[in-house]
Structure 1
Amino acid sequence: MAIMLAIGYFVASLYSKGVKLPLFSQLIDMAERERSKVTPGRGTFRFYTGALLAYILMLVFNKPYFMFASAVLVLAMGDSASTLVGVRFGRNKIPYNKHKSIEGAVAGFSFAFIGIFLAQVLIFAVSPLYAVIISVSASFIGMLVESLPLPVDDNLSIPVATIVFLSIIF
């Protein structure tokens, strides 16, 4: 996993410096938000930075790999779903952050929960009850952090907060 993170980080770093790699550049272009295209690859670079930080924290806290996977899945599935649903269907703003919607937060929680639960049960062979507890915990903290008006990019704060939270309670 460390090798995959290193490769992703390296590719995102090259892309942010203007180096275009076939296939990788096309994937990054499809995933970038319009406002981020001023600094190409910024979101991808921060995604890999957040994942790398969560991986390092998993090692520091000596936690099982599935906790790291949960932190990254909250970012990959929850943050993505909250953005897509919030932009398209978000009508009810979160009281403490007018830039985020309740609809987006609920969608983010739901998608993160499903992704984490399936990964826990199908890939990591975690018992269904324990998988539900981990999925609810990770999805809740990830979407809470995503909804806060923090000065830190949520690609960094979501996986870090999630792995720290999971490490404390499990």
Structure 2
Amino acid sequence: MSLVYKRELIRQLIHASGILFIFLGNYLPVPYLILLSLVAMVSGELIFQIDKKYYIPFFSKILRSCRRDEKEKGFIYFFSGLTLTLAFFGFNMAIANAAIIILVLGDATSTLVGKKIGKNKLPHHLQKSWQGSFSFFMVSFIGAGTQVPLAPAFIGALAGTITEAYSPLDDNIAIPVVSGTAITLIIYLFF
């Protein structure tokens, strides 16, 4: 396993830890989840900035092993995406959970699969592959299907896959918002 792939694996495992918000959603009301997401975002950014100048036991080793560049903003975008998802869809935690699953599992899987075996590039986006996008869709569909009926899970996974592949915005914000919106529309129009 190459050093670059190992770093990406660590990064995506951290990304997948967002699943904790689904677990915590069983015990905490939505406003507390939103507050927790905001605290995590601010704390993470603070640690990230301090780490640029000083070694912080435990955190520096993790940050330095998975950082892509010095201007990394993925942490902020990730928790912004979680916060918006909880704010927009917290009225129905099944929808919020499905959108979070699509973000954390679909995006992490597509990155790892795309980097490992992604040979066939998508049209109009040469950094993304069919293999990564297919894995995003399958993992997202299966994961979202544990929270909402299969038809909304399918549409949410498809919306997330297309968003991940082509969104001009950071996908950590766009994926859960677009997926959650698609799931909400299908549920409230057809179920």
TM-score (norm 1): 0.77
**1:5 aligned residue (25, 33, 37):** 37
Q: How has the CA–CA distance of structure 1 residues 96 and 9 changed in structure 2, closer, same or farther, with 3 Å as cutoff?
A: same
SS of 2:46's equivalent in the other structure is helix
SS of 2:50's equivalent in the other structure is coil
Residues of 1 paired with 2:84 and 2:132: CA distance?
25
SS of 1:18's equivalent in the other structure is helix
1:161 aligns with 2:181: no
1:134 aligns with 2:156: no
Q: Is the 8 A contact 1:11 1:24 kept in 2?
A: no
Question: Which structure 1 segments of 5+ residues have no match?
Answer: 121-125
Q: Is the 8 A contact 2:152 2:182 kept in 1?
A: no
Report the alpha carbon displacement of residue 58 of structure 1 after superposing the two structures with TM: 1.6
Q: Is the 8 A contact 1:75 1:159 kept in 2?
A: yes
Residues of 1 paired with 2:50 and 2:151: CA distance?
43
Report the alpha carbon displacement of residue 31 of structure 1 after superposing the two structures with TM: 4.8
Q: How has the CA–CA distance of structure 1 residues 165 and 24 changed in structure 2, closer, same or farther, with 3 Å as cutoff?
A: farther
Number of residue pairs matched by the alignment? 152
Residues of 2 paired with 1:90 and 1:71: CA distance?
24
Report the alpha carbon displacement of residue 2 of structure 1 after superposing the two structures with TM: 2.1
Q: How has the CA–CA distance of structure 1 residues 13 and 140 changed in structure 2, closer, same or farther, with 3 Å as cutoff?
A: same
Residues of 1 paired with 2:181 and 2:56: CA distance?
34
RMSD: 2.2
**1:56 aligned residue (87, 94, 97):** 87
Counterpart of 1:101? 129
Residues of 1 paired with 2:45 and 2:125: CA distance?
31
- Structure-to-structure mapping, 1:81-100, within 5 angstroms: 81-100=109-128
Question: Which structure 2 segments of 5+ residues have no match?
Answer: 1-32
Q: Is the 8 A contact 2:155 2:183 kept in 1?
A: yes
Instruction: Point out the more displaced range, 8-17 or 98-107.
Output: 8-17
Q: How has the CA–CA distance of structure 1 residues 3 and 25 changed in structure 2, closer, same or farther, with 3 Å as cutoff?
A: farther
Report the alpha carbon displacement of residue 76 of structure 1 after superposing the two structures with TM: 0.5
Residues of 2 paired with 1:134 and 1:28: CA distance?
36
Counterpart of 1:66? 94
Report the alpha carbon displacement of residue 7 of structure 1 after superposing the two structures with TM: 2.5
SS of 1:37's equivalent in the other structure is coil
Residues of 2 paired with 1:47 and 1:83: CA distance?
15
- The residue type paired with residue 82 of structure 1 is S
- The residue type paired with residue 79 of structure 2 is Y
Counterpart of 1:44? 75
